[in-house]
Amino acid sequence: MNEAFLPFAVPCIGEEEINEVVNTLRSGWLTAGPKTQQFEQEFSTYVGMPYALTVNSATAGLHLALEAIGVGAGDKIITSPYTFTATAEVARYLGADPIFVDIDRQTFNIDTKKLAHALATTTGIKVISPVHFAGQACEMDTILALAKQYQLKVVEDAAHALPSQYKGRLIGQFGDVTAYSFYATKTVTTGEGGMIVTANPEYAKRMKIMRLHGISRDAFDRSSSSLPSWYYEVVAPGFKYNMSDIASAMGIHQLRKAEALRQRREAIAKQYTEGLQGLPLTTPYVAPDNVHAWHLYVIQLTLEALKIDRNLFIERMKMERIGTSVHFIPLHIQPYWKERYGFEPEDFPIAYDVYQRAVSLPIYPDMTDAQVERVINATRRILTGALR
Ligand SMILES: *Cc1c(COP(=O)(O)O)cnc(C)c1O
């Protein structure tokens, strides 16, 4: 047995992306320009939201969203600890603090009952930041109702959620601002990159200024004919968060394929869920109202029935030449967050327990049915050989 190593994640890049990037390189325009404008227009149409702004990462997008809303020193944002550190670190950029609320064991998303309780008992919260884990939409009806009740803004971390739907509508149409990631492993990629969408013209204007050094384009827009082309005005100490035309060239074609790529991942998820029946593990749950983006396929090992733990399972998968991963190491056990707020693992018991059982299996469109079967068979072999 000497099969090639099956990587955990591989981007799905076609000739269209390659040709568009090459054309961009030959065009003489590399930074944000015509391709970026086209990518933003197509994205805005795709999600059905008036403003879509490219950025160089989802992290940048989340930061810009909180800044535009006016989150500042002493404010709080409320989110889940079962996420990537970016969701929470952007609050710290602005001197604000994240408040964590435990997750639902089935969906890995923020538990809206616990969210309601936290909102009723905590002051100073400005923003709810739901994370659509793995591409499964959060309970947006409840979250929006709570936001309305407490007069909070909603900034969605949709890094996994392109394209995801909640009750027949795409994620991106719910919150005040939604941020997507085009990091190399995500469902749609530009290598590095992101997009922020909003329906709020004030937020859009502020995020546009702050993504490029606080430079205001209003002077150009108002009377472009009478102002020289070299002229600009700096109105704030902004950031350097814009996307290049090289990245946008990829994004244009990735976006057009987004639903086809999702469908292939959904087929893989179905093959996994059928093939993994009867084993000491829980396969992912899909809420009936959701169309799942399937960025991740996360199983939870039934440790009580096994002689091995999650880490050993991952080691054995590696010996079978299969790459896996863990999403996520909860933030409250990471040194920075743990030390800053004095967290104990049991402060968020579901997040901590799920973390110890979670294994992300490879799920990307270019995987063949035979490769998916190989993962199923290896999982079966390892787990049946490790039964208590
Ligand atoms: C990947 C990821 C991010 C950050 O995305 P970048 O584009 O790399 O900044 C944020 N949140 C979650 C949940 C992610 O998985």
Q: Is residue 90 in contact with ligand 1, taking CB distance under 6 Å?
A: no
CATH 3.40.640.10 in the chain, residue ranges: 15-256
pLDDT at 4: 95
Q: Are 259 and 170 in contact (CB under 8 A)?
A: no
Residues 6+ apart with CB under 8 A from 188: 162, 180, 182, 251, 254, 255, 257, 258, 261
pLDDT at 187: 98
Mutate to test the pocket of ligand 1, among 53, 55, 84 (most ligand atoms within 8 A of CB): 84
Q: Is residue 375 in contact with ligand 1, taking CB distance under 6 Å?
A: no
Residue 362 CA to ligand 1 center (angstroms) comes to 18
Looking at the domain 259-384, which fold is it? Aspartate Aminotransferase, domain 1 (3.90.1150)
Name the burial class of residue 13, with classes exposed (0-12), middle (13-18) and buried (19+) by CB atoms within 10 angstroms of its CB: middle
130: closest CA among 106, 159, 110? 110
Which stretches of the chain drop beneath a pLDDT of 70? 1-2, 218-225
CATH number at 15-256? 3.40.640.10
Number of H helices, E strands in the chain: 13, 15
Half-sphere exposure of residue 54: CA atoms within 13 angstroms, side-chain side: 32
| Residues noted as catalytic | 186
Residues 6+ apart with CB under 8 A from 96: 66, 71, 72, 73, 74, 75, 76, 77, 126
CA 62 to chain centre: 11
pLDDT at 228: 86
The residue whose two tokens read 């968020």 is: 348
Paired residues of 179 in beta bridges: 157, 196
Q: Is residue 83 in contact with ligand 1, taking CB distance under 6 Å?
A: yes
Residue 310 CA to ligand 1 center (angstroms) comes to 24
Q: Is residue 183 in contact with ligand 1, taking CB distance under 6 Å?
A: yes
How many Cβ atoms are within 10 Å of 347's Cβ, its own excluded? 17
The pLDDT tens digits of the residues spanning 370-384 come to: 999 999 999 999 999
| Whole-angstrom distance, CA of residue 79 vs CA of residue 101 | 6
| Whole-angstrom distance, CA of residue 88 vs CA of residue 83 | 9
| Whole-angstrom distance, CA of residue 371 vs CA of residue 321 | 11
Residue 86 CA to ligand 1 center (angstroms) comes to 6
How many Cβ atoms are within 10 Å of 355's Cβ, its own excluded? 23
Q: Is residue 131 in contact with ligand 1, taking CB distance under 6 Å?
A: yes
pLDDT at 203: 98
Nearest CA to ligand 1 atom 2: 159
pLDDT at 129: 98
- The type of residue at 121 is T
| Whole-angstrom distance, CA of residue 262 vs CA of residue 54 | 21
pLDDT at 387: 98
How many Cβ atoms are within 10 Å of 180's Cβ, its own excluded? 29
Residue 135 CA to ligand 1 center (angstroms) comes to 12
Write out the H or E segment, with its range, that includes residue 165: strand 165-166
pLDDT at 226: 74
Q: Is residue 58 in contact with ligand 1, taking CB distance under 6 Å?
A: yes
Write out the H or E segment, with its range, that includes residue 58: helix 58-69
CATH 3.90.1150.10 in the chain, residue ranges: 259-384
Looking at ligand 1, which atom is closest to the CA of residue 57?
A: 7
Residue 334 CA to ligand 1 center (angstroms) comes to 17
Looking at ligand 1, which atom is closest to the CA of residue 60?
A: 9
Please tell me whether residue 154 adopts helix, strand or coil conformation. strand
